[in-house]
Amino acid sequence: MAHILVAYASKKGSTTEIAQAIGKELEASGHIVDVADMGTVTSLTGYNAVVIGTPMYMGKMMSDAGKFVRRHYKGLEKLPVAGFIVSLAPVTKDPVDREYAQKALRASLAPLQPVAETVFAGRLDPSKLSWFQNWMIKKAKSPIGDFRDWTAIAAWARELPGKMKV
């Protein structure tokens, strides 16, 4: 039984719910899990593994991820780390978009070498966005809706303990 931290950042809540779903699945595998906004994490002492996830905004992972890695690098380099990025790339089904999102994830977590990394489809809800954000997504012809695939999220989470060797 391991103690696992799922550290996330989110602006509109969809990544928070994905982090919570990953936490639930890890708990169901018999592990002790803390799901926390990465900005509130002060120490990694006692954790055996860490999952890091944020959404993609304007082509990048949220800067919270890079800050978290720099702040806790000494602890993270000794632990198995997995990363996920939430974006609309899986919705377009264009492999170039997916590879771009994956690259943004790797860049934010570098120089860590995650044992697992993935891109999850997110949610774009115009009612939660500012006028300007709505203007931007309209201009970019972004797909609107909740595209989160809870089956894929749970399946990825179930494989983590094996990949993290915990």
Residues forming the site for ligand FMN (CB under 6 A): 10-15, 55-59, 86-89, 101, 122-124, 129, 133, 136-137
- Both tokens of 34, joined, read 């803390």
Closest chain position to ligand FMN (CB): 122
Q: Name residues whose C-beta falls within 8 Å of residue 155's C-beta, 6 or more positions apart in sequence.
A: none
For the bound state, the minimum distance from the C-beta of residue 49 to ligand FMN, rounded and expressed in Å, comes to 22
Nearer to ligand FMN, 8 or 166 (CB): 8
Nearer to ligand FMN, 79 or 89 (CB): 89
Cα dist. 82→2, 22, 28, 103, 159 in Å?
A: 15, 11, 18, 14, 11
CA 146 from centre of chain: 16
Nearer to ligand FMN, 128 or 165 (CB): 128
